[in-house]
Amino acid sequence: MDYFATVLISSLSSASILLIATLGLAVVFGLMGVINLAHGEFIMMGAYSALTATQLGIPFILAIPVAVLVTMVFGALVEIIIIRRLYGRLFDTMLATWGLSLALYQGAVLIFGSVSPGIGMPQINFNVGDYTLAAYPIFMILVAAVMLAGIYALLTRTVYGMKARAAIQVPDMARAIGIDSARTNTLTFAIGCGLAGFAGAILLPIVPATPSMGFAFVIKAFLTVVIAGPVTLAGSALAAIGVGTGASVVASFMTSVAGDLFFFILTVVLLRLYPLGVSAKWRIKL
């Protein structure tokens, strides 16, 4: 029972890490209809920003908002220069962000090299019977819950959230009542990129900063959003917890390869059963 409990807690932690890495993509796709294939590189940018800040003597807890600010500013520039001209052209947007991801990856290799030093995980542990678990990965469960609640409140309980949804759903009417759709869309894309930067920074003690670190997240994050369907925020939470936890449990009892195989097989099965996503018939729309 102790071993089963540790597996369950660790698996929930892994699912929470997947959710943290997915939320930025879910916000951008859910509100803007933009599939950002450079999402993994924004995670990488956040990790390198936090790492650079700590190397300059800034405490890690303060390096996280620095990473968020850097990725938000860069994301705003990307929306203004590239994405703004491609709304309604899904394939062109995917192609443009894919090219951006390649450029950011090569830029990271040139600037930082292929290997970077980590910052180390806080040495805080707790016991479950005869087994010991590191506290920091388990802390990600709380981080994911707070992120999810905060994003939901931002999009449903604030004036910005109302404007953001209106600017995408009915842009002509939004402009008619005085909403600056262009500025709102820029802010929304920047927030999505900032969430990716936050993920890279908060996960830095677990996943060291490397130019290719985004690849470890972006495929599963993208599939999670696809499984989620039209209710991207709540659907992504359900998909990440369900599929991510299941894959982690399989990996614990077998191998990591078996866990990944389970993730992709379950994704195919769910998309076969729910072609429009698991949330296609939900009443809630966020």
Q: Mind listing the pLDDT tens digit for each residue in 199-235?
A: 999 999 998 889 988 887 888 988 998 898 878 888 8
Q: Enter the tokens of residue 189.
A: 């894309």
**How distant, in Å, are the alpha carbons of 12, 29, 43, 181, 275 from that of 36?**
26, 8, 12, 19, 21
Distance CA 135, CA 124 (A): 6
On the CB side of 163, how many CA atoms lie within 13 Å of its CA? 17
Q: Mind listing the pLDDT tens digit for each residue in 110-152?
A: 998 877 777 877 778 877 777 788 888 899 999 999 999 999 8
CA 162, 165, 170, 171 torsion-angle sign:
positive
| Confidence check: pLDDT of 269 > 90 | yes
- Residue 285: predicted pLDDT: 62
What radius of gyration, in Å, describes the C-alpha atoms of the chain? Answer: 19
| Confidence check: pLDDT of 174 > 90 | no
| Exposure string over 243-253, b if 16+ CB within 10 A, otherwise e | bbbbbbbbbbe
- Phi (first) and psi of residue 125, to 5 degrees: -130, 160
| Confidence check: pLDDT of 79 > 90 | yes
- List beta partners, residue 132: 127
Q: Three-class SS of residue 134?
A: strand
Residue 85 DSSP code: G
Q: Enter the tokens of residue 67.
A: 């990473």
Distance CA 271, CA 269 (A): 6
DSSP H helices in 180-255: 181-202, 215-228, 232-253
Rounded to a whole number, what is the largest CA-CA distance in the chain?
64
- Residue 116: predicted pLDDT: 73
List the domain boundaries for the chain.
2-212
- Residue 90: predicted pLDDT: 81
- Residue 38: predicted pLDDT: 93
Distance CA 141, CA 270 (A): 24
The pairing of beta strand 125-128 with beta strand 131-134: antiparallel
DSSP string, 100-131: HHHHHHHHHHHHH-S----------EEEETTE
Q: Three-class SS of residue 133?
A: strand
pLDDT band at 176 (very low <50, low <70, confident <90, very high): confident
